[in-house]
Structure 1
Amino acid sequence: MFVSRNFLVVTVRLLTGLAAALLGACASWQAAEPGIGAPLPWSALPGWQGDNLAQAWPALLNSCQKMPARDANWKQICADTALFPDPDEATVRAFFETRFTPHPVTGRDGEPDGLITGYYEPLLFGSLVPTRRFRYPLYKRPDDLVTVDLGELYPELQGKRLRGRLEGHRVVPYYSRADISNGKRPPDSDVLVWVDDPVALFFLEIQGSGRVQLPDGSLMYVGYADQNGYPYVAIGRTLVRSGALKLEDTSMPAIRAWLTAHPDQVETVLNSNPSYVFFAPRAADTTGPVGALNVPLLPERSIAVDPAYIPLGCPVWLDTTLPGSEPAPFQRLEFAQDTGGAIRGPARADLFLGSGDKAERLAGEMRQRGKLYVLLPAERSLN
């Protein structure tokens, strides 16, 4: 396939700054400022003794489905989990403390903390056929979306992909959200389901997976399939710049309320984010949605991170608060099992909160400061 040289050169320049970080894995990660720092004693982790680590064991087992193939240092760790089929709290704590070493994560500009947000699995209402009510399409990955693996051309960009479409013999950028909403949309044959709320559909793209209830009461489960290649732009930022919302008042409920009160401006505001997400059906099971590591996400034990700074699959100690008039401390062992277009930077995490009204409320309100500590595989004696 012939690829436009100018198109690739621009992309390579944008991505080269991330290449060095992407080459590392858990055990070989090179400390950087900002980024992962020098090892700490376990006593330095705020609240470490207060968490019920046995509840995090299933999340470790999920990471072990993928990590041995990604990082050789995980092979023995994951093999050791088979020795403890039903470990108690003391056993799990000893397991982590003997096989991992905590490292602090420094944020931008040397800050010791960063932004912690939350996400959830939303419920939408839809139909397999379009109707007057159900007229907003949720698309599967379109056939004309081309993916170029840059690692095949530039080894230092292993794992990075370029998305576009063919125009003659050239690869050009794919259609933006505005393009798609203004007529350059995939065919109706690419529609998985039609839903009744464009704002709910937009937020489904941000969450990455969800459920759609059909008229007969059955549920369709959908998850992230691909994206059009454009960077994510937060519509909350758009509303703040326009003066519609104040920065301190920006939250998912506030954004929803503003859009509900201004239906004539919904399309314009949504189109300020050029990123567009395509979906695929997922199995109707009880394991939960699947994250970027391709393992199920567990509520309050899985987080989305920026893999340029924190390797996917690794345990991460999270020290933050939950929103409320009196913020409650939230100090738990998490696993970096997902990514997100808005999750950028070193001390940045998005906490998966599950599904339901409480999860939606917390996710919509959560914009907390917090500290991250990555647990990297410890050096182990050969004796």
Structure 2
Amino acid sequence: MRTGPRSAAAAILGIVAGCAAPPGERPAPVDDARPQPPVTDSRARPTPPAPALAGPVIERPGARWVAVSWSELPGWADDRSAELWPALRAGCIKPTPEWIGVCQRAARFTPADHGFAREFLQQELQPYRVEARDGTAQGLATGYFEPLIAASRRPRPGFTVPLYRPPADLGERRPYWTRQQLETLPAARQALRGLEIAYVASPLDVLVLQIQGSGRLRLVEPDGRERELRLAFAAHNDQPYRSVGRWLIEQGELRADAASWPAIRDWGQRATPQRLNEMLWSNPRVVFFREEALTPDVSGQPSGPKGAQGVPLTAGRSVAVDPSAVPYGTPLWLDTTEPLSSTPLRRLVMAQDTGGAITGAVRIDYFWGTGETAEQQAGRMKQPLRLWALWPKPPA
């Protein structure tokens, strides 16, 4: 996302955040002579191309892509492929030169059904198996989410822990005060006075917002009325990120195979105040926020937070990647499984974000969306992964 951290709760042992670029502009219209798919008649479809043979390779700084036939993609015919279109159109806001033509054609219609969407993609794109430079094609899928947390504009019983805007002297002191100093030293506390955005119930709520780098607040007014706003990453204190999950393992409080975000939250809720502070202060990094209005997506629901590509993320259809291996705006085919199960998770997604813990060729962080269910899924996701990239065919 932005210029500082966002991380995946499932990668809690090494989590740091991604950085988002400013949103781009839609490309100017492009004159393209290729026939356009019809908008309303699902019976008149483009003829699927013959399967491409494996062979040609695209070398990227962090990966190699090997061209394959569509038949290699497991479950390809079973995905609800038309659901990719909002994420695809968002990713086309600022396309690279290779994508301008495809983006212009995809923007001119809405798929009549999932089969039509698949056939359009097969006509336009070539699948590539994503591998590490040494040929390794197995990797790791984790998950992340957007927290949704109850808050109050003013401190009151049940809402006493503040979230802050960046302090005025942040650029004058590098690194800035640590988390512990900001909570205990009078001079450090004074620097934050008057910068409170809102108050939440627990320092664990602050921690998860800072780990994820953004989130939504459900502001609860004293009269019971509610409204939502988004907190976006604004800055951090230039201190190193330390994993609280790693600290709990080193303290013997959690097993390495059980250090998920739900387990960490559960431990924190049972810990004494002193012990909870020890865990929180083990991570000196503090994130500061800014407010953002919630804008509606095409369905009228609040859009997702912006990822590193500078476009809103789509739940279940956006992922974070290592951009040295997969450029932003690339459609990907995932072959992985649901958290804590062997249920296949095979679907089209868009590479629209990154994160400090997301490194390597066959490595993605899957955006589950907003709220408690997304938190549970993301916090437990650590699954084996195979990955294919879909890239525009060269001009005929």
Shorter-normalised TM-score: what interval? 0.7 to 0.9
Q: Which residue of 2 aligns with 1:20?
A: none
Q: Identify which range, 229-238 or 327-336, moves more after superposition.
A: 229-238
Q: Which residue of 1 aligns with 2:323?
A: 307
Name structure 2 gaps, 5 residues minimum.
1-56, 296-301
Q: Deviations over 1:276-302 (max 9, x none)?
A: 322221222322222222212111101
Matched, 1:271 2:281: yes
**Cα distance in 2 for residues equivalent to 1:340 and 1:181:** 27
Going from structure 1 to structure 2, the CA distance change for 1:140 and 1:39 (only over 3 Å counts) comes to farther
Q: Secondary structure, in 3 states, of the residue corresponding to 2:83?
A: helix
Which of 129, 138, 141 is matched with 1:104 structurally?
129
**Identity %, equivalent residues:** 39
Matched, 1:349 2:349: no
Contact 1:36 1:374 in 2 (8 A): no
Q: Which residue of 2 aligns with 1:64?
A: 92
Q: Which residue of 1 aligns with 2:198?
A: 193
Which of 91, 109, 121 is matched with 1:84 structurally?
109
- Letter of the 2:60 counterpart: A
- Letter of the 2:218 counterpart: Q
Going from structure 1 to structure 2, the CA distance change for 1:55 and 1:139 (only over 3 Å counts) comes to same
Q: Which residue of 2 aligns with 1:137?
A: 162
Q: Which residue of 1 aligns with 2:342?
A: 327
Matched, 1:177 2:179: yes
Q: Secondary structure, in 3 states, of the residue corresponding to 2:158?
A: coil
- Letter of the 2:149 counterpart: L
- Letter of the 1:92 counterpart: A
Q: Identify which range, 259-268 or 243-252, moves more after superposition.
A: 259-268
What is the deviation of 1:328?
A: 0.8
- Letter of the 1:193 counterpart: A
Going from structure 1 to structure 2, the CA distance change for 1:179 and 1:314 (only over 3 Å counts) comes to farther
Q: Which residue of 2 aligns with 1:235?
A: 244
Going from structure 1 to structure 2, the CA distance change for 1:144 and 1:43 (only over 3 Å counts) comes to farther
Going from structure 1 to structure 2, the CA distance change for 1:256 and 1:90 (only over 3 Å counts) comes to same
* CA RMSD across the alignment: 2.4
Q: Secondary structure, in 3 states, of the residue corresponding to 1:332?
A: strand
**Cα distance in 2 for residues equivalent to 1:102 and 1:242:** 46
Higher share of residues assigned helix: 1
Q: Which residue of 2 aligns with 1:296?
A: 312
Going from structure 1 to structure 2, the CA distance change for 1:336 and 1:276 (only over 3 Å counts) comes to farther
Which of 60, 69, 87 is matched with 1:31 structurally?
60
What is the deviation of 1:309?
A: 2.5
Going from structure 1 to structure 2, the CA distance change for 1:253 and 1:87 (only over 3 Å counts) comes to same
Contact 2:139 2:384 in 1 (8 A): yes
Q: Deviations over 1:287-338 (max 9, x none)?
A: 22222222121111011122233222211211110123x4210001111112
TM-score calculated relative to the size of structure 2: 0.75
Q: Which residue of 1 aligns with 2:211?
A: 206
Which of 166, 171, 178 is matched with 2:172 structurally?
166
Q: How many residues align?
A: 326
Going from structure 1 to structure 2, the CA distance change for 1:136 and 1:329 (only over 3 Å counts) comes to same
Matched, 1:373 2:388: yes
- Letter of the 1:189 counterpart: G
Q: Which residue of 1 aligns with 2:233?
A: 224
What is the deviation of 1:241?
A: 2.2
What is the deviation of 1:29?
A: 6.8
Q: Secondary structure, in 3 states, of the residue corresponding to 1:189?
A: coil
Q: Secondary structure, in 3 states, of the residue corresponding to 1:375?
A: strand
What is the deviation of 1:189?
A: 2.5
Going from structure 1 to structure 2, the CA distance change for 1:374 and 1:60 (only over 3 Å counts) comes to same
What is the deviation of 1:87?
A: 4.0
Contact 1:108 1:347 in 2 (8 A): no
- Letter of the 1:173 counterpart: P
Q: Secondary structure, in 3 states, of the residue corresponding to 1:84?
A: coil
**Cα distance in 1 for residues equivalent to 2:105 and 2:80:** 20
Q: Which residue of 1 aligns with 2:83?
A: 55
Q: Secondary structure, in 3 states, of the residue corresponding to 2:220?
A: coil
- Letter of the 1:312 counterpart: Y
What is the deviation of 1:213?
A: 2.1
- Letter of the 2:131 counterpart: T
**Cα distance in 2 for residues equivalent to 1:174 and 1:339:** 25
**Cα distance in 1 for residues equivalent to 2:265 and 2:125:** 42
